[in-house]
């Protein structure tokens, strides 16, 4: 299971690192912002689920 996860993550890391060389600074900032918002959204979803389960 670990090997499968590691293979996917290695491919994702290598692909994004390669794409990062080609993308412009402005696009990278926008993508970082979108990722941060997506991660915060997942966090809010988990938090809401956890609070719902506790109350």
Partner 1 sequence: MTALATGFGLGFGIAAGFGPINAFCLALGLRHGFPPAWGVGVGAALVDGFCALLAGLGVAAALHGAAKGWFQVAGGLALFVVAARMARSRGGEARAGSRFSRTLALSLAATLANPITILSGARPSRASSRASGSLASRHSRSSRSE
Residues 31 and 23: their CA atoms lie apart, in Å, by 10
Check binding of 24 to partner 1 (CB under 8 A): no
Stretch (H or E) spanning 39: helix 25-54
What's the longest Cα–Cα distance across the chain?
48
Q: How far is the CB of 19 from partner 1 (least distance, A)?
A: 6
Q: Strand, helix or coil at 25?
A: helix
Check binding of 26 to partner 1 (CB under 8 A): no
Q: How far is the CB of 24 from partner 1 (least distance, A)?
A: 11
Binding site for partner 1 (CB under 8 A): 1-10, 12-17, 19-20, 23, 28-29, 31-33, 35-40, 42-54
């Amino acid at each position: 299971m670990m090997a499968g996860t590691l293979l996917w993550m290695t491919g994702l890391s290598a692909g994004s690192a390669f794409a990062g060389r080609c993308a412009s600074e402005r696009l990278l900032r926008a993508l970082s912002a979108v990722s941060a918002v997506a991660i915060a959204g997942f966090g809010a979803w988990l938090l809401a689920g956890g609070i719902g389960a506790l109350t």
